[in-house]
Amino acid sequence: MKAFIIEDEIMAQATLAASLLELFPDISIAGTAKSVKEAVAWLSDPSNKPDIIFMDVELSDGKCFEIFRQTEVAAPVIMTTAYDTYAVKAFEVNSLDYLLKPIEPAALQRAVERCKSRAGGAQNADLEKLMAALQTPKPAFKETILVQFGDHLIPLRCADISFIYSEDKSNHIVTTTGTQYMIDETLDSIAAKLDPEQFFKISRSCVIARKAVGSLTKLLGGRLRIELAQKSKISPEVSRSRTDAFLAWMAK
């Protein structure tokens, strides 16, 4: 059984591939893609015939439904998404299925086995239903986050957040005025609550707000240094694996 993985996060792509190979010895990874463009090119090649496709909803150059518009998708698809507020039930159109990130091994096993058990194998996705599922309703993101300042809890507006970073096993929120708050939540937990149109995780240790980006400097190794719009001694860096996705996000 050949699997094709469409995922713009290199680590997530590698983790999914490793989990598949561990759970299903009969599965081989036929190919991978990080964007709509790469996926369309791979699927348009008649020599590529996957038996199952794993497709991230949010890719570096757009949402995955563009793939269905631009080429034929003839294999069962398992969608992956970080947001359970999408109308994920609509993914179950014909042989479509979905997994919620971070992907649990048991959920992955169930989804693959469901795909295997379905008769046929080919599918004709209902694109209109799929587009509706991916676009409406939009996830409800946090407008405020409670932060601790001494003995007090302060409701901090997300609109006032400049960036969030981890350092020495501690997590900090920096506001647009330069005020810093230490928080107990993990970076991933906070990032999941923020609007991805306005915030981007540029590395394992930093999430930045769109309006906080002043200018960018190219570094060796494909990384980027961000000069903040506000005065700061901190110059966050975009990891090499996130550079393309970050630039695409900034261009929206």
| Torsion angles phi and psi, residue 200, rounded to 5 | -140, 135
pLDDT of residue 93: 45
Nearest to 115, CA basis, from 65, 81, 79, 77: 77
Show me where the domains of the chain are located.
2-135, 144-250
| pLDDT(23) > 90 | yes
Q: Return the higher-pLDDT residue of 170 and 48.
A: 48
pTM beyond 0.75: no
CATH topology of domain 144-250: OB fold (Dihydrolipoamide Acetyltransferase, E2P) (2.40.50)
| Contact assessment for residue 90 and residue 42, using Cβ atoms and an 8 Å cutoff | no
Q: Does domain 2-135 have CATH number 3.40.50.2300?
A: yes
| Torsion angles phi and psi, residue 54, rounded to 5 | -105, 125
User: What is the overall mean pLDDT for the chain?
Assistant: 84
pLDDT of residue 135: 57
Distance (Å, rounded) from C-alpha 242 to C-alpha 246?
Answer: 6
